[in-house]
A and B are shown apart, each in its own frame.
Chain A
Amino acid sequence: GAGVSQSPRYKVAKRGQDVALRCDPISGHVSLFWYQQALGQGPEFLTYFQNEAQLDKSGLPSDRFFAERPEGSVSTLKIQRTQKEDSAVYLCATSTRGNSPLHFGNGTRLTVT
């Protein structure tokens, strides 16, 4: 497809389980961002890749959160030992280099029970 694709769309996890969220970027987009959006809030920055290099991970809330983009295309956000406060929509966004808008995927809604 032409847009940013995220899977799964919905994920329910029991507290303590590990989850992996996938992002397929728009072809040719070198910049990739992960954001977390809690209910009633705006998206909050988690981490940023340029190609395969993770240039900024200052927004990751704890060491349970890990992101990778090994070949500079598909990215995976992994959350270990999920907690209830991890429940949110996780948004992936990509862009070409420089001054261009972010293109967001439709997100993965994670619910931790």
Chain B
Amino acid sequence: DQQVKQNSPSLSVQEGRISILNCDYTNSMFDYFLWYKKYPAEGPTFLISISSIKDKNEDGRFTVFLNKSAKHLSLHIVPSQPGDSAVYFCAASDYGGSQGNLIFGKGTKLSVKP
């Protein structure tokens, strides 16, 4: 049974608009969440993270929102750019932020059209 779920395999957005990528989790022990971005033939690259003591973390065009009661997090990219086209993985940990064994979702492929 998947503990981290990304139910949308793909998302297409126009350049300049907002991209919203969603992630749901089942394990209430998770206390640290991360988003990674992956280009073809490359390894995942860390994008942004959030601890369970917060409900929002922002870094430039990227914002992650956490709703603990719904066991749901989302990544907002505003404005979206063609270079943002990649696969985005949501990941979770129950190691209090020390990374440890990350549980990844299956990923959402984002396409940003010029």
Contact = CB atoms under 8 A, between A and B. Distances in A.
Interface of B is mostly: loop
Contact of A106 (B41, B89, B103): B41
A108 to B, nearest CB: 11
A100 B98 CA distance: 7
Contacts of B45: 104
Nearest to B46: A101
A100 B99 contact: yes
Interface string B14-57: 00000000000000000000101000011111100100000000
A59 B100 CA distance: 12
Interface in A71-95: 91, 93, 95
A80 to B, nearest CB: 24
A104 B44 contact: yes
Nearest to B34: A101
Contact of B98 (A58, A91, A99): A99
Interface residues of B, number: 23
Nearest to A89: B43
A25 interface: no
21 contacts: A4-B43, A33-B101, A41-B106, A42-B4, A42-B89, A42-B91, A42-B107, A43-B102, A45-B101, A45-B102, A58-B101, A91-B43, A98-B97, A98-B98, A99-B98, A99-B99, A100-B99, A101-B46, A101-B49, A103-B46, A106-B41
